[in-house]
Amino acid sequence: MAALSLPADCRRIILVGGTFDPVHLAHVALPQAARVGANIPDAHLLYIPAARSPFKADSPRASDQDRVAMLKLALREVPNASIWTDEIDRASATNSPSYTIDTLRRLRTVIAPDTQLRLLIGADQAATFHKWREPRAILSFAPPLVMLRGADSATLLNSLRAAEFWNDQEMATWSASVVPTPLSPISSTLLRDLLAVASPVSEQELAASLDPAVLQYIRTQGLYRD
């Protein structure tokens, strides 16, 4: 199992998953905003880069090593944050997709029993959460922390009810899990497209969306070139 670095007194963890291909400024800013918005400013942000999403046929463009290296650069000045590469390490050994429930079960075996977990997700992920593997088990391990990012909470809750999957108690959990966060237009897909071309416009957008050290790493390693 991958090494896990947490403060000795850590009792609250917010799990931040994603491919981070590449990691951009919103990946860093939004979890911090959610931590404050949920009134748990002491929670540790644990970033878990995914090896491969079960819902995506294509693999990340950058290698696992490069994505972790970029993530380390992006988080170098973020307080109370670290990276756990368990999904990447597990996938490299089994060549299988990453499932959140498996990660949570493994994490529970290496943290203090009284440590509280929250799973940070976007409103779009919440709307389809019932399609995840063992969604109710995930809620029992790590209640969600849903970033609205400009969306309306009533619309989100209506979409959850429309799934006809969640019971009243679970809907109450979802209702209490919503936290407003800033709306960000940054997209890793768009950034990959911009990195493939060279123009004054693309350079301006890249500089506004990526940590300078991350952008320098991408340039040095020649990542995302066509």
Residue 38 to residue 146: CA distance in whole angstroms: 10
214 to 46, 49, 171: CA distances (angstroms)? 19, 16, 39
Model confidence at 172: pLDDT above 90? yes
pLDDT of residue 58: 64
Residue 150 located in a structural domain: yes
- CATH number of the domain enclosing 49: 3.40.50.620
The tokens describing 1, both together, are: 């199992």
Residue 179 located in a structural domain: yes
Minimal CA–CA distance to 5: which of 32, 64, 45? 45
Confidence of residue 185 (pLDDT cuts 50, 70, 90): confident
In this prediction, residues 121-129 reach a mean pLDDT of 94
Residue 55 located in a structural domain: yes
Confidence of residue 128 (pLDDT cuts 50, 70, 90): very high
Cβ pair 23, 67 in contact under 8 A = yes
| Domain coverage including residue 101 | 12-184
Residue 215 located in a structural domain: no
Residue 142 located in a structural domain: yes
Residue 124 located in a structural domain: yes
Residues 6 or more apart in contact with residue 9 via CB below 8 angstroms? none
Residue 110 located in a structural domain: yes
Tens digit of each residue's pLDDT (9 = 90 or more) over 69-116: 999 999 999 999 999 999 999 888 777 777 899 999 999 999 999 999
If one counts the domains in the chain, the total is: 1
Residue 205 located in a structural domain: no
Q: With DSSP H G I counted as helix, E B as strand and the rest as coil, what are the percentages for the chain, rounded to 5?
A: 45, 15, 40
pLDDT of residue 4: 93
